[in-house]
Structure 1
Amino acid sequence: MSHGRGIRLFLVDGSPNGLLTAEIMNWTGHALTGPRTKLTELVQRPECGRTGVYFLVGPDPDNTMRPLVYIGESDDVAKRLKQHNRPENQGGKDFWERVCLITSKDQNLTKSHVKYLESQLIAIAKQSGRCGLVNGTAHDYSVLPESDLADMAFFIEQVRIILPVLGFDFLRESAATHSASTPDENTLFEMELPKYGVKAQAREIDGSFVVLNGSEARPKWTAKANGYGNLYDQLVKDGVLGEETNGKRLFAQDYEFNSPSAAAAVVAGRNTNGRTKWQVKGRQENYGEWQSAIVEAQSSAETHGDQFQ
């Protein structure tokens, strides 16, 4: 059973577009984030003088569907950020637009700790597939005492919880690898285009709509270019949608979409209402009807529960 988690956010300068700090109850970690335009104020913060790990985040020019990320560590983050702010031809990095720094409130993170954290976070980012990485191959810093390894494992768990709250999804576990935790996540949806001989299957997992490996899609985008059309082209470029064979493309892996309509559009090669197009396998019920029934059942259960209190 999952439990709620309290996260404290603080707008340093009172603006949602300025510096922001975040903390989780009973966690010694501390997050500080802000835009590159606020770097002058950010590097003056006391957190930037501590030992920590940091993330530089910006758009990926080769893939508009994901960010480009650099993961680093330092025992003087302010100095490293100033170096990264230099022009590219002077040893800096041009791509980034936002920065997020993770330090410890009790200042117990050592250089060995953050080197280990850096290597683990780079590996996690690569595995998630949610970003392009500027980093090369990460060094393996695994020589830590057993107790420290346990502490760092917990620290990383909290980092992966707090980053999405701050708008950074690149360390979040892929829904395609998430094990079903509720009966609803075991529900299988199907979509068919009989005219084109296309069939696809999907599940809703951890709030995402995941089209399953081996599902079929039309061989090209057939409508006016738009956001979903760009997504279709990107999936072809990334190899998620394989080469055209017998008038269709196959999903080479499970792929996570942010909505049933995005998934349906890629399968159909044009804009499609996924709430009506995806059908619950074995039932005369579409996704919209299925979701509505779940909400109604939950509301009814809560009403009956109130009656007996």
Structure 2
Amino acid sequence: MTRTVGRSLELYYIDGRPDGMLTAELFNWTGHVLMAPRTQIAEALARLEASYAGVYLLIGEQDGEPRAYVGEGEDISARIRSHDVRKEWWTSAVLITAAANKLNKAHVRYLEARLIAEARSIGRVPLDNGTNPTLAALSEADVAKMEAFLENLFIVLPAVRVDMFIRRTRPTTKPSTPEVLLPTSTIADAFSPSPRFVLETRKHGLRASAVLRDGEFIVEAGSIARGNWAGPASHNYANLHAELIRSGVLAPEGAHCRFTEDYAFRSPSAAAAAVNGRPANGQVEWKTDPGGFTYRDWEQSRLQTSKGTHE
């Protein structure tokens, strides 16, 4: 059995401000990530690593939707200076290089192609890139090095507020048909470590099921959600609902949407909001099946059980 191993990440806030420039590095990784708001791009591009070969991300919004661009260059500062003039929508830049300028042109072309393919596969943020570049021809050893580089990079990027490469869809564990949303089980399972939860809003014909797996709250494929966002347009979950439709996780079916894949949410409330199309308290709207106990009741029972094992 493979044991999960922790990683040590170092963040350095260059000017001491949490919203300013920062660098990120992993222990025993040659990669280096520099995140800079556009307001500090001149200072960022004056740094030594900005003249290295690497890939970069431009991140922002256009017409109210998130947007990003993935690029590469042998001197990424020169490339970003050209985009600073021609692209007006981006608000921050992420520069990805390696210590001692160890990446070459073929390496960064490979990384660019892989990042573009991954971002489009996940579909969370539309790209401003017009093409899908082909992978650069690398030796078998270099491909392995670049894939290892990417594996570490995908750990670092969320730490610098870039979540466009987080894949929240999960392998489907049951058929996506409404008939099996509520499997047969016993009341004794209601307070088990991993019960199935159900959310049902009969007024709008909504019915969804979810499970806790590896610490994630996962709404299962086949669940029926509201077809449009009915809550405040400025609410954070409005963007989440739109993202799920844009990425194809929610597929329109008349007035409703159906989850096409299992999807991992940050919390029961985020999942409830996605199903109901409005802000919702997932602590009370999700209920165990069977038993009908709220998620809050189930959680409190588990906490009490956990407390008892240490007394």
With normalisation by structure 2, the TM-score equals 0.82
Q: Distance in 2 between matches of 1:114 and 1:281?
A: 50
Q: How many residues align?
A: 289
Q: Distance in 2 between matches of 1:230 and 1:8?
A: 30
Q: Distance in 1 between matches of 2:113 and 2:52?
A: 19
Q: Distance in 2 between matches of 1:226 and 1:36?
A: 24
Is 1:41 the counterpart of 2:35 in the alignment?
A: no
SS of 2:23's equivalent in the other structure is strand
Counterpart in the other structure of 1:164: 158
Counterpart in the other structure of 1:8: 10
- Structure 1 residues 12-21 or 260-269, which shifts more? 260-269
SS of 1:138's equivalent in the other structure is coil
Q: Distance in 2 between matches of 1:13 and 1:268?
A: 43
SS of 2:95's equivalent in the other structure is strand
SS of 2:29's equivalent in the other structure is coil
Q: CA deviation at 1:13?
A: 1.5
Is 1:264 the counterpart of 2:266 in the alignment?
A: no
Q: CA deviation at 1:76?
A: 0.4
2:282 is matched with which residue: 274, 279, 283?
274
Q: 1:19 to 1:193 in 2, by over 3 A?
A: closer
Q: Distance in 1 between matches of 2:193 and 2:150?
A: 26
- Structure 1 residues 269-278 or 38-47, which shifts more? 269-278
Q: Distance in 1 between matches of 2:204 and 2:165?
A: 37
Q: CA RMSD in A?
A: 2.8
Q: Distance in 1 between matches of 2:232 and 2:135?
A: 49
For residue 149 of structure 1, what is the amino acid of its counterpart?
Answer: V
Counterpart in the other structure of 1:82: 81
Percent of aligned positions with the same letter in both sequences? 38
Q: Is the CA contact (8 Å cut-off) linking 2:106 and 2:136 kept in structure 1?
A: no
1:287 is matched with which residue: 295, 300, 306?
295
Counterpart in the other structure of 2:181: none
- Structure 1 residues 32-41 or 261-270, which shifts more? 261-270
1:151 is matched with which residue: 138, 145, 148?
145
Is 1:243 the counterpart of 2:237 in the alignment?
A: no
Q: Distance in 1 between matches of 2:227 and 2:206?
A: 10
Q: Is the CA contact (8 Å cut-off) linking 1:175 and 1:208 kept in structure 2?
A: no
For residue 200 of structure 1, what is the amino acid of its counterpart?
Answer: A
2:20 is matched with which residue: 3, 18, 21?
18
Q: 1:176 to 1:222 in 2, by over 3 A?
A: same
Q: How does 1:1-309 map to 2 (within 5 A)?
A: 1-63=3-65, 67-86=66-85, 92-177=86-171, 187-205=195-213, 208-218=216-226, 227=235, 228=237, 232=241, 240-244=250-254, 248-301=256-309, 303=310
With normalisation by structure 1, the TM-score equals 0.82
Q: Distance in 1 between matches of 2:231 and 2:157?
A: 36
Q: CA deviation at 1:138?
A: 2.1
Superimposed CA distance per residue, residues 192-241 of structure 1 (whole angstroms, 9 cap, x where no aligned partner): 23455432112345655432222123455556655245655665676624
- Structure 1 residues 155-164 or 208-217, which shifts more? 208-217
